[in-house]
Amino acid sequence: MIGIIDYGSGNVQAIATIYKNLNIDYEIISNKSDLKKADKLILPGVGAFDATMQQLIDSGLRDELNDLVIRKKVPILGICVGLQVMGFGSDEGDFPGLGWIPGRVKKFNINKIESKPKLPHMGWNTIKDIQNHSLFKGIDNEFGFYFVHSFYFECESEDNILTTSNYGIDFTSAIYSDHIIGTQFHPEKSHGNGVLLFKNFAQL
């Protein structure tokens, strides 16, 4: 059963609808005590870093998640801010992150990018699947995924880079560490590619 974490951030309903239509068992979880029922977890997220971390703490989910993900190695997929909280922290705020994958979240420095792109980075962009990971099996990388963010994750180690994308500069668009995966883009808003990614995640 896929547990979609509802802590007040992210398009939980869209993910639920996708799993419902795939006939894959899922549950929307808002109580920390229900988290352990899931075989795999999804952590969506939209909005500011600090606000998101605050919500995770306030909902009581943070400690339980740490236990399940780090100690019990329950697979988890973080989306957008759900990915960003997996690092040590963000330039956007003051709160520390969950610290699951070494790295920090930085803002696109448009002054340093020749093409001076607009922020947020918003729209469809391609991904480069560095690791040839089965999460991206069958996916049309050129069609890509939908992004909307002004900050991105910078991994300390190259080993944690799952995919890269380009927005004036090359940046990390998905990260991973064994059973922990995060995507900066929104698979729940990326048509067929997204549906396939969710299906692949369930089958990993």
Residue 138 binds another protein (CB under 8 A)? no
Q: Which of 21, 71, 94, 114 binds another protein (CB under 8 A)?
A: 21
Residue 13 binds another protein (CB under 8 A)? yes
Q: Which of 17, 31, 134, 203 binds another protein (CB under 8 A)?
A: 17
Q: Which residues pair with residue 148 across a beta bridge?
A: 122
Residue 21 vs residues 24, 44, 111, 143: alpha-carbon distances, Å: 8, 19, 44, 22
121-125 and 169-177 strand pairing: unpaired
Residue 60 vs residues 8, 34, 35: alpha-carbon distances, Å: 12, 12, 11
Q: Distance between alpha carbon 194 and the CA centroid of its chain, in Å? A: 12
Shortest separation between residue 82's beta carbon and another protein, angstroms:
13
- 80 is known as an active-site residue: yes
Of 32 and 149, CB closest to another protein: 149
Cβ pair 200, 150 in contact under 8 A: no
DSSP code for 96: B
- 114 is known as an active-site residue: no
Of 73 and 191, CB closest to another protein: 191
Shortest separation between residue 13's beta carbon and another protein, angstroms:
5
Residues 6 or more apart in contact with residue 9 via CB below 8 angstroms: 44, 45, 46, 47, 51, 52, 55, 81, 82
Residue 123 binds another protein (CB under 8 A)? yes
Q: Which of 118, 134, 138, 156 binds another protein (CB under 8 A)?
A: 118
Tracing tokens 């067929």 back to the chain, one arrives at 192
- The stretch near another protein (CB under 8 A) out of 28-36, 100-108, 175-183, 186-194 is 186-194
Where on the chain is the footprint of another protein (CB under 8 A)?
11, 13-14, 17-18, 20-21, 23, 46-48, 110, 117-126, 143-144, 146-150, 166-167, 186, 188-192, 194-195
The residues assigned a catalytic role are 80, 186, 188
